Each structure stands twice: as C-alpha cells, then as structure tokens.
Amino acid sequence: MVVDSILSADRYVPLHPLFQQAVEFLRSPGLGGRAEGRYELDGEQLVAIVVRKGGKPRGEAVLEAHTRDIDIHFVLEGRESIGWKPVSDCEKVRTPYDEESDCVFFDDQPVLWADVPAGSFATFFPADAHATMVSPGLLHKVILKVRVEKEAK
C-alpha cells in the first residue's frame, strides 16, 4: 500500500508502465467536473471510475482484494479513511474470488487505517486487502484500475 499526495506521485511512476498515464489523468484539468461513471483510458488496461456518494462508518466497510488490477483511489473532495490488511493474513473469506469482477471479499478486520484527504491517493497492489469509502460525509473520488500485466499492443 502507498498513501501520498498527488504532488509526490511522480516518485511512483517507475513502479508500473501505466503509472505515468495514471498520474497525468489524476492531474488533468477538469477532472473534478467529470460525471460519475466508468472511463476507459487505455482499454481495459487502465480504467477510471468516478464516484460521488456518502461515506460509511468503519464498521460497515468490508475488506476486498484484486488479483488482476492495482487500485489507485484518489480523493477529490472529502476525507476518506481506508482500512488495510495483507491478503496473506486474511483468513475469513466472505465472498470467494470472482474472476469476472476481479474481487474477493473478507470478513477480517483491517490492521491499519490510513487517512486520505482531498488531493491524496492510496494505491493497493494485489497483496493489499482494502476497505474503502469510510467517511462521515460526501466523498468525491476517482478509482483507477491498472492492469497488473500490461498487454503489448
């Protein structure tokens, strides 16, 4: 897991071939004005999901993890708290891995909570289970789905 300000995002670009494009998108003018929904930025290799909705309390957050995609959660407005636990330590599967949705859910509790204010992002790799959308108020955020294995064109 990585949590940092968008101002420092360039230091993570070398970690993946699509991270440069991801950072450029998150810094793009007018990002906050985009409608809710799904945007393909590089086919299925890099997808953005814009979300505007009320947060939930920690007790309602459920850990999830992905195998195919890396998640980057960028907060535009609001303040999100995101729970984390290594997938290797998760023992209580709520919903088994579904290949189509690339998601598994756990009933385990996070071992760490990270504060992610507006202008910051949290990145979750396949080894990171995460519980999101925890906030006392409205959250406006972008979730980037970055394919772990970039396909050659």
Residues 71-105: pLDDT tens digits? 999 999 999 999 999 999 999 999 999 999 999 99
pLDDT band (50, 70, 90) for residue 19 = very high
Residue 150 has pLDDT above 90, yes or no: no
| pTM of the full structure | 0.96
pLDDT tens column, 37-68:
999 999 999 999 999 999 999 999 999 999 99
- Whole-number percent of the chain with pLDDT over 90: 97
CB within 8 Å of 49: residues ≥ 6 apart: 37, 38, 39, 142, 143, 144, 145
Q: Where do the domains of the chain lie, and which CATH numbers do they carry?
A: 2-147 (2.60.120.370)
Q: CA–CA separation, 124 vs 71, rounded Å?
A: 5
Give the DSSP letter of residue 145. E
Distance of CA 5 to the CA centre of its chain: 14
Does the structure show a pLDDT above 90 at 8? yes
Asked if residue 140 lies in contact with residue 78, where contact means CB atoms within 8 angstroms, the answer is: yes
pLDDT attached to residue 141 = 98
> Residue 116 pLDDT > 90, yes or no?
yes
SS3 20: helix
Between the CA of residue 120 and those of 4, 5, 9, 56, 114, what are the distances in Å?
A: 6, 4, 9, 19, 11
Q: In what order do the strands lie in the sheet with 37-40?
A: 2-5, 120-124, 69-77, 138-147, 46-54, 37-40
The arithmetic mean of pLDDT across residues 117-142, rounded, is: 98
Instruction: Round to whole Å and give the CA distance between 124 and 72.
Output: 6
Span 119-147, average pLDDT: 98
Size (the chain), residues: 153
